[in-house]
């Protein structure tokens, strides 16, 4: 796909802006049981009534109890909104906003997976800009208002939403009825505090643990291999890749392993930092399109698409993939870049199979390729500084590799 030089100039200028204006990452509470420390922090900050955003399942499992009981002991009443779904919609955000206003809350606590954290960010955006429809806030720097204090408590180690400036939402097209995902991206969405408690990931099913881990890996790889990656992005992404390769198999084998769980939460956090400062790429653009059409879990979509996309990039991504291969301990310094890059991609394929992640999307239909490609290209160009802007033929080939009816 031919790219106008001004596209790369725009990306280079934006990358410089991000380096100069890089925001401080959230304060972190880390370690098993650290969720119980959050009520004391709320008390110190003078929070009188937080709104807890979560899911009904999370409440049933008792994951929020250390927080809720701690707040009761401190005499801090907590309002609860537990209607968040795996792909949060505009309607859910508006309901959460209404609950916050009705109960006169003064802070947001998001406890759940990436969807819950994204929903909380969008609620905060609506509270900051009540007169602006959410769809008008999709894009970059379209909120530009201070949100209520937001505390992010991830129960999965994957999305990195506890540290990112983006919230992905699902919108329904009024004309066609189709669903599609879009992101609100603004520095003001970055949570103030991230609570990284491995006790909260201990009850995840192994496959879910694997899919979340592959989402974090995709964040790190795309941020690292995108053009204009700063030394900060590279170091952060390399550390995340190293942690994931060392700890994801143990976390999948035993999600309750506190050491592997803590390492994966750290990796997801670092991956989030990396892509907040250098974006994601074609893997995520395709994953958002496939997920929006078929409801495929985002981590699974990224895992299936990761290797086909990077093989399609070809030589322009080889050198950086080789560096990540070395960071993961798969290749030595003297291994030629093509061999090191292929060793890295082959190992990802091997791990996907060992985790039980399929190589294809059973839901994918060839007649939807055009729509998926259009959505992916619209998301990718010109925003993402990908190694190569893939044309429609290349994207069609990638989809054919992961479609049972074609492959």
Q: Which two tokens stand for residue 206?
A: 């192994």
pLDDT for 201: 97
pLDDT for 140: 86
pLDDT tens sequence across 85-100: 988 999 999 999 999 9
**Going by DSSP bridges, is the β-strand pair 179-185/27-30 parallel, antiparallel, or unpaired?**
unpaired
- Tell me: pLDDT of 130 over 80: yes
Return the percentage of the chain with pLDDT > 70, whole number.
99
pLDDT band at 406 (very low <50, low <70, confident <90, very high): confident
pLDDT for 176: 72
CA separation, residue 400 to residues 308, 324, 341 (Å): 10, 27, 23
Hey, which residues does 302 pair with through a beta bridge? none
For residue 98, the SS3 value is: helix
- Sign of the torsion formed by the C-alpha atoms of 258, 325, 399 and 175: positive
DSSP-assigned letters across all residues of 273-320: HHHHHH---HHHHHHHHHHHHH---HHHHHHHHHHHHHHHH-HHHHHH
pLDDT band at 2 (very low <50, low <70, confident <90, very high): low
Name the strands in the sheet holding 139-140, side by side, starting at the edge strand that comes first in the sequence.
139-140, 179-185, 166-172
The pLDDT of 129-157, averaged and rounded, is: 95
DSSP-assigned letters across all residues of 313-379: H-HHHHHHHHHHHHHTTSS-TTS-HHHHHHHHHHHHHHHHHHHT--SS-TT--GGGHHHHHHHHHHH
pLDDT for 407: 67
Q: What is the DSSP letter of 142?
A: -
Return the percentage of the chain with pLDDT > 90, whole number.
90
Closest residue by Cα to residue 51 from 106, 95, 6: 106
pLDDT band at 1 (very low <50, low <70, confident <90, very high): low
Distance CA 98, CA 302 (A): 33
pLDDT for 108: 98
Distance CA 390, CA 313 (A): 8
> In angstroms, how far is the first alpha carbon of the chain from the final one?
24
Phi-psi region of 77 (alpha: psi -120 to 50; beta: other; left: phi over 0): beta
Distance CA 374, CA 26 (A): 35
Judge whether 402 and 28 are in contact, CB under 8 Å: no
Which pTM was predicted? 0.95
- Tell me: pLDDT of 401 over 80: yes
For residue 119, the SS3 value is: helix
Phi-psi region of 139 (alpha: psi -120 to 50; beta: other; left: phi over 0): left
pLDDT tens sequence across 226-271: 999 999 999 999 999 999 999 999 999 999 999 999 999 999 999 9
The pLDDT of 29-34, averaged and rounded, is: 97
- Tell me: pLDDT of 136 over 90: yes
pLDDT for 63: 97
Alpha helices, DSSP H, located in 103-174: 114-128, 134-137
The pLDDT of 296-303, averaged and rounded, is: 97
């Amino acid at each position: 796909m031919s790219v106008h030089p001004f596209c790369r100039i725009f990306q280079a200028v934006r990358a410089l802006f991000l380096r100069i204006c890089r925001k401080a990452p959230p304060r972190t509470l880390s370690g098993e049981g650290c969720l119980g420390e959050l009520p004391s922090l709320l008390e110190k900050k003078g929070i009188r009534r937080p709104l807890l955003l979560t899911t009904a399942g999370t409440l049933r499992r008792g994951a929020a109890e250390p927080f809720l009981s701690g707040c009761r002991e401190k005499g801090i009443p907590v309002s609860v909104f537990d209607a968040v779904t795996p792909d949060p919609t505009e309607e859910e955000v508006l309901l959460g906003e209404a609950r916050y206003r009705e109960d006169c809350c003064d802070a947001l606590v998001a406890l759940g997976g990436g969807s819950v954290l994204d929903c909380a960010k969008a609620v905060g955006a609506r509270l900051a800009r009540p007169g602006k429809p959410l769809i008008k806030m999709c894009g970059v720097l379209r909120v530009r208002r201070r949100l209520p204090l937001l505390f992010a408590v991830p129960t999965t180690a994957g999305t990195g939403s506890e540290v990112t400036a983006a919230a992905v939402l699902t919108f329904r097209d009024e004309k066609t009825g189709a669903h599609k995902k879009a992101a609100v991206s603004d520095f003001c969405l970055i949570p103030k505090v991230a609570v990284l408690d491995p006790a909260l990931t201990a009850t995840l099913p192994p496959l879910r643990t694997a899919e979340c881990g592959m989402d974090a890996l995709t964040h790190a790889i795309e941020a690292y291999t995108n053009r204009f990656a700063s030394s900060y992005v590279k170091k952060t992404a390399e550390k995340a890749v190293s942690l994931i390769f060392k700890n994801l198999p143990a976390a999948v084998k035993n999600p309750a392993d506190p050491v592997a769980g803590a390492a994966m939460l750290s990796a997801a956090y670092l991956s989030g930092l990396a892509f907040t400062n250098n974006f994601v790429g074609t893997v995520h653009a395709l994953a958002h399109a496939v997920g929006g059409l078929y409801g495929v879990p985002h981590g699974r979509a990224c895992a299936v698409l990761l290797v086909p996309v990077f093989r399609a990039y070809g030589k322009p991504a080889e050198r950086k993939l080789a560096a990540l291969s070395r960071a993961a301990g798969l290749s030595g310094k003297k291994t030629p870049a093509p061999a090191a890059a292929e060793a890295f991609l082959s190992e990802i394929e091997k791990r996907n199979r060992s985790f039980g992640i399929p190589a294809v999307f059973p839901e994918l239909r060839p007649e939807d390729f055009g729509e998926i490609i259009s959505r992916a290209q619209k998301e990718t160009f010109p925003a993402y500084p990908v190694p190569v802007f893939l044309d429609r033929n290349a994207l069609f080939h990638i989809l054919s590799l992961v479609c049972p009816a074609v492959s």
